[in-house]
Amino acid sequence: KVVADMLSVAGVDRIITMDLHADQIQGFFDIPVDHLYGANVLAKYVESLKLKDLIVASPDVGGTKRANAFCKKMHILTDKEVPMVICYKHRPDFNKVSEMRVLGDVKDKDVVIVDDMADTAGTLCKAAQVMKENGARSVRAVVAHGIMSGKACENIENSQLEELVFTNTIPFEGKKCSKVKVVSIAEPIAETILAIQEHRSISELNIH
């Protein structure tokens, strides 16, 4: 809220954001906020792969809403129902280390794990391993923000992931990671700016 107020005092009269960590952050602003989602460009990339038996996965229970929304986007693009599975951490006993399990069938499926960000990518790599152990044909991950801190690149390279795809909201330069693909959000940002300048509806752009 303090940052939101500082921006307003500095003279900002409208904000365009992409994939806020929590939608409620929009409520901190007293000025219009246009919240875009990287899932739109990520879904188009996944659609271009023409995966045989696509299934969407959430790496944790908290991400089910995001994964479900991605399923709906893929349904629109492919005109096919896209199922969803969930990874969850199971704790056998109160003093035992939790283990990750899959809620749903991924055998012989092409799994796409959907998350909001990749920091050290530990959870994504563990989820990919569990998917493979449960018979998945291929596993890849798509996330909005590629933070890629610490040993993230090393973790991805040594993981069961076919690839990790994220947008260029955060610069990813000078880091060698053969499994990483970056997709541009220039088009949706440009379309939103143009729509604002021309006083057109942004929701009609289908980029929210």
Specify whether 89 is catalytic.
Answer: yes
Phi, psi of 17 (to 5 degrees): -120, 165
Distance CA 146, CA 123 (A): 14
Q: Which of 72, 89, 107, 151 is catalytic?
A: 89
Strands (E), 25-161: 33-36, 54-58, 84-90, 99-103, 110-118, 138-146
Sign of CA dihedral 120, 112, 87, 159: negative
Map residue 199 onto helix, strand or coil: coil
Terminal Cα-to-Cα distance of the chain (whole angstroms): 23
Sign of CA dihedral 151, 152, 153, 157: positive
- 112, 166, 171: which is closest to 144 by C-alpha? 166
Distance CA 69, CA 42 (A): 12
Catalytic machinery residues: 89
